Amino acid sequence: MKHTGIARRLATMAAVMALAAAACTSPGSSAGPAATSGGGGTTSPTQAAKQYVIGFSNTGGTGNGFREEQNCTAKAEALASGQVSKVVMIAHNTDSAGQLSDLRDLISQGVDAIVFNPSSADALNPALAEAKTAGIKTVAVDAYVTDPDTWNFYNNQVDYAYLGATWLFKYLEANGHANGTIWYTRGIAGHPADTDRHTGFTKALSEHPGFKVLPSKDGVFTGWDPTTATNLANDFINSGDWDKIDGVWTSGMDSQVVDAVKAASKTQKPIVGADLGAFASYLLDSTKYQGLVGAAVTNTAAVGGAGVAVALKLLNGDTLTSDPASTRPNTLLLKPVLADNVTDAGKQTLQSWQSVQGLNPIWPLSVTLPDWTHYTAEQAVACKGPGE
Amino acid sequence: MSAAATALGEAARPLDAVVGMVRRNGWALALLAFLALLLIFTKVIQPRYGVAGAQALAISALPLALAAVAQAICVIGGGIDLSIGSMMALTSVIAAVQMKGQPEEFGVVVVLAVLVLGLILGAINGAVIVFTRVPDIVVTLAMSFVWAGFALLVLASPGGGSAKWLRDIILGPFLNEWIPKSAIVLIVTVGLVWIPLRRSRLGLSIYAVGSNRLAAFRSGVGVGRTKIAAYALTGLFAALAGLGLTASTGIGTPVPGPYTLTSVAAIVLGGVSLAGGRGGVLGPIVAVLILQLIRSDMTFLNVDTNLAIVAQGAILIGVVMFGSLLQLRRARR
């Protein structure tokens, strides 16, 4: 009992310190994509006295910078909010059946809310219905689920792909490759974000019908795994196909392609990637990566932290407004931003994204979402949740 | 012999039978005791663990338990099948694609067809091993790529659907809230195939071939035929596991999950000898429950996921070493 009392006092002190830190620091320094939702709500970290337990489930992408940052921002938001006593984090590579099992473990544990990166839009619905029955709030981040009671908070992935692909097609058209060939690399087959991005890419391609796509219009899957992406790039280069293409569209496995091309002493081709540290720095380094032309599109991993913020709003009874731009209910969308290394404005934007010290080069550069998250970029990099 | 002695002898017979049964299933019973202790431990660290937890455990264990039974059969027969995960993926996506948008009754036809397909896939594995004489581990590893490739050809990304009755058959309680339907499904499906098999000539032949291939051959057992039959049964249970996946998620996933290696871990923990000829299916099923529960406990204890994987491996090695020590001590006596 005595220990519990001490622990409680320590937790209260930590919460007060976190509140003070959150109040004294501006949330984040990096440029983030704009939240289009009007769901900002009214809850501030100072409002809630109750301490919640948040469950977090991430499947796939172990070793992937986006997923690592997503998990760390979730911990950081929980810490900075001052409303969370514990984050139960389950992050490993598994399939939908495995994630169902993870979600049920979190339900058994009696968490107050579950934030998760879904492996499938439909497969998790039974566990999400069980969570609702148990009074647990559920928030999907990075992709959507079709469960009607779960809130979805994610980057507008259709726009993400459309924006990047359109830039690539227009750049090539302006430089005499109107009927060029694109190497189309994707993420994880069946992941809702990948499916949405495919929709966006296909839409852009239909508006620029002169372009051909290799290996096919369905692209090739990297599994969002850096090793797989590197192997695929090496195979593509060694097959001789690299010399036949005019540009590359990647689903975030971008620096791996640039590195493989550099290692093979081949000519870089115009490439689209995400706002990952390594890729953005390559785009700005005209000495080491001479002739590299490309654009990065924001795909913030701060959705992990924002998901926790959304869960806390739901737990505190706040009203959220679904994004009218989405055809799905309970959806909050983030609008992606593109920056290239061709225009001065693009270069300046890329430069402005480089402000976070100690950021892992494979992490996305937009570490915070000022409209939603309360932690600092340094807290995200520290990757510590409450009680850690 | 006096009447008293006869009565004593008759009374001793059931006791002997029980002692014999305990001896034969000693490892499985020890695992059951370990599972019971683990459940108590789980309840201590997570007082809320109850009906929902038991239901979740049974549902998540179903595909893995069926995969472990699949692995156990071919390992008892002296082989090993590294294509179980891929066969599960292939049968799961075929079922999901065929059932999507179709009437409920058609689902029955699909399930039966998928089970036959499982038998065929397994028989192909066995036939390639027997006729090429390439080691089982090499053939099934190679076939894992073949079946995984076919799964991706059938369905490039997760999708499809499931008949509602197939989902209902495993979700929720049966008669009592503490009895999960998925546990009943597991007991019935395994019992329907394993009990008659264990008592049949084929079952004896599988044990004989796994125990000593040459001795079995000299005793008139058709080694090749037995091996193909064992692999076919492995395919059948892999198909059942694939259907379990479709039933629990409502879709088919073409990329195989981590089922093959987990099935190997489960049979090792479940007391099936990797040298063949020894073990049963009860041990591996209990082992799957233990492995699943340890994973849940790691979550309840909020252990880092990466550390939890290390801990699972360490526990697996520890338990198997403990079992080997006990066997060594028994052998010395």
Mean pLDDT of A290-307: 93
Q: What's the confidence (pLDDT) of residue B240?
A: 97
Alpha helix ranges (H) inside B77-171: 84-99, 104-132, 136-154, 164-168
Residues A269, A282 within the same domain = yes
Residue of B157, B255, B259 for testing the chain A interface, max A β-carbons within 10 Å: B157
**Could you tell me which of A210, A124, A133 has the C-alpha nearest to residue B158?**
A124
The rounded distance, in Å, linking the Cα atoms of B61 and B84 is: 16
A203 is written with which tokens? Answer: 């839409």
Closest-CA residue of A relative to B241 is A97
pLDDT of residue A28: 32
What's the rounded Cα separation, in Å, for the pair B57 and B29? 19
A376 and A284 in one domain? no
% residues pLDDT > 70 (chain B): 95
Q: What is the pLDDT of residue A115?
A: 97
A334 part of contact set with chain B, CB < 8 Å: no
**CATH code where residue A146 lies:** 3.40.50.2300
Interchain contact, B253 vs A95, CB within 8 Å: yes
**To the nearest whole angstrom, how far is the Cα of B155 from the nearest Cα of chain A?**
10
Do A10 and A129 lie in one domain? The reply is yes
Instruction: Give A26 or B163, the one with higher predicted confidence.
Output: B163
Q: Which domain holds residue A110?
A: 2-154+301-333+367-382
| A306 and A292 both lie in a single domain | no
> Is residue A151 pLDDT above 70, yes or no?
yes
CB A168 within 8 A of CB A302: no
* Chain A residues inside the 8 Å CB shell of B300: 105, 108-109
Q: Which of A190, A123, A118 is nearest to B162 (CA)?
A: A123
Domain ranges of chain B: 51-302
What's the pLDDT band for B114 if we cut at 50, 70, 90? very high
Cα gap B279→B211, rounded to integer Å: 11
Measure the CA–CA gap between A228 and B166, rounded to whole angstroms: 36
pLDDT category at A20 given cuts 50, 70, 90 is very low
Give the count of alpha carbons within 13 A of B89, CB side only.
31
* Closest by CA position to A175, among listed A297, A348, A299, A340: A340
For B140-145, what is the mean pLDDT?
96
* pLDDT tens per residue across span A180-221: 999 999 998 777 789 889 999 999 999 999 999 999 888 999
Is residue B110 within 8 A of residue B95, CB to CB? The reply is yes
Q: What is the pLDDT of residue A192?
A: 77
**Cβ separation B48–A108 shorter than 8 A:** yes
Averaged confidence pLDDT in chain A:
85
Please compute the mean of the pLDDT values over residues A6-22 and round it to a whole number.
39
Least Cα separation, residue B301 to chain A (angstroms): 9
- pLDDT band for A11, please (50, 70, 90 cuts): very low
**Are A109 and A237 in the same domain?**
no
Report CB contact under 8 Å: A97, B251. Answer: no
For residue B303, the SS3 value is coil
Residue of A nearest to B62 (CA): A97
Report whether pLDDT(B5) > 60: no
Pairing of β A294-297 and β A271-274: parallel
Asked if residue A137 belongs to a domain, the reply is yes
Percent of chain A residues past pLDDT 90, beyond the cut: 61
pLDDT digits (tens, 9 = 90+) for A52-110: 999 999 987 677 788 999 999 999 999 999 999 999 999 888 888 999 999 999 999 88
CB proximity list for B148: less than 8 A, separation 6 or greater: B86, B89, B90, B254, B255, B256
Cα–Cα distance measured from residue A260 to residue A248, given in angstroms and rounded to the nearest whole number = 13
The position carrying tokens 């038991």 is B54
- Angle at B31 (CA atoms; ends B29, B37), nearest 5 degrees: 110
Nearest to B156 among A89, A100, A189 (CB): A189
Mean pLDDT of B298-325: 81
Q: Inspect the interface and report whether the beta carbons of B302 and A102 lie closer than 8 Å.
A: no
Which pLDDT value is given to residue A15?
38
- Mean pLDDT of the B265-279 span: 90
Asked if B234 contacts B241 with a C-beta cutoff of 8 angstroms, the reply is no
Lowest mean pLDDT among A35-44, A164-173, B229-238: A35-44
In a mutational test of the A interface, the residue from B39, B249, B291 whose CB has the highest number of chain A CBs within 10 Å is B249
Confirm or reject contact between A110 and chain B (CB < 8 A). Answer: yes
Q: Do B250 and A98 touch (CB under 8 A)?
A: no
pTM of the model: 0.79
Residues A375 and A290 in one domain: no
What is the full DSSP assignment across A237-270?
A: HHTTGGGG-SEEE-SS--HHHHHHHHHTTPPP--
* Size of the A and B interface in Cβ pairs below 8 Å: 105
Q: How confident is the model at residue B23 (pLDDT cuts 50, 70, 90)?
A: confident
**Chain A stretch 45-104, residues whose beta carbon is closer than 8 A to a beta carbon of chain B:** 86, 88-98, 100-102, 104
Rounded to a whole number of angstroms, the distance from the CA of A155 to the nearest CA of chain B is: 21
Quick check: A270 pLDDT over 80?
yes
Tell me, yes or no, if A352 comes closer than 8 A to chain B by beta carbon.
no
Residues of B near A (Cβ–Cβ under 8 Å) read 46, 48-49, 52-53, 55-56, 59-60, 63, 152, 156-159, 167, 171, 245, 248-251, 253-255, 257-258, 292, 295-296, 299-300, 302, 304-306, 309
Is the same domain home to A8 and A144?
yes
Instruction: Look at A73-87, B175-189, B278-292, B302-316 and tell me which has the smallest mean pLDDT.
Output: B302-316
CB distance A107–B302 less than 8 Å?
Answer: no
Does A360 reside within a domain? no
- Distance, in Å, from the CA atom of A193 to the CA atom of A297, rounded to the nearest integer, reads 14
Report the residue of chain A nearest B59, measured CA to CA: A101
The answer to whether B299 contacts A106, with C-beta atoms less than 8 Å apart, is yes
A210 phi, psi to nearest 5 deg? -75, -15
Q: What is the C-alpha separation between B47 and B40, in angstroms, rounded?
A: 10
User: Same structural domain for residues A129 and A71?
Assistant: yes
Q: Does pLDDT of B247 surpass 90?
A: yes
- Domain annotation covers residue A358: no
Contact A104 B48 (CB under 8 A): no
Cβ within 8 Å, pair A104-B59: yes
Q: Average pLDDT of B249-274? A: 89
**Cα dihedral across residues A170, A176, A180, A182: positive or negative:** negative
CA distance B202 to chain A (A): 34
pLDDT at residue B13 in the model:
72
Tokens of B315: 């526990």
CA distance B150 to chain A (A): 15
Q: Is it the case that residue A47 has pLDDT exceeding 80?
A: no
Residue at a domain's end among A244, A279, A297: A297
CA B295 to chain A, closest CA, distance in angstroms equals: 9
Sign of CA dihedral B38, B42, B44, B48: negative
User: Does residue A64 contact residue A224 with C-beta atoms inside 8 Å?
Assistant: yes
Task: Output the six-digit token pair for B287.
Answer: 């082992």
Domain count, chain A: 2
Per-residue pLDDT, A10 = 39
pLDDT at position A195 is 87
When pLDDT is averaged across residues B222-248 and rounded to a whole number, the result is 96
What's the rounded mean pLDDT across residues B100-109?
Answer: 93
- Residues A167, A288, single domain; the answer is yes
Has residue A120 been placed in a domain? yes
User: In B, which residues are within 8 Å of A194 by CB distance?
Assistant: 157
pLDDT higher than threshold 90 for residue B157: no
The owner of tokens 């005791």 is: B33
pLDDT at residue A23 above 80? no
Rounded-to-integer distance, Cα B239 and Cα A98, Å: 18
Of A299-303, B196-200, B325-329, least confident by mean pLDDT is B325-329
- Taking CA B139 as the corner, what is the angle to CA B137 and CA B141, rounded to the nearest 5 degrees? 65
Choosing among A67, A108, A124, which should be mutated to test the B contact, i.e. which has the most B CBs within 10 A?
A108
Residues of chain A in contact with residue B291, where contact means CB-CB under 8 angstroms, are none
Q: How far is A109 from chain B (nearest CA, A)?
A: 6
Chain B residues lying within 8 Å of A118, measured CB to CB: none
Q: Are A96 and B158 within 8 A, CB to CB?
A: yes
* CB-based contact B248 A100, cutoff 8 Å: yes
Cβ <8 Å between A120 and B52 = no
Shortest Cα–Cα distance, B43 to chain A (Å): 11
- Residues A138, A250, single domain; the answer is no
- For B30-66, b/e burial (b = at least 16 CB within 10 A) is bbbebeeebbeebeeebeebeebbbbbbbbbbbbbbb
In the predicted structure, residue B12 carries a pLDDT above the cut 70: no
Cis omega (within 30 of 0) for bond into B135: no
| Residues A313 and A281 grouped into a single domain | no
Same domain, A219 and A288: yes
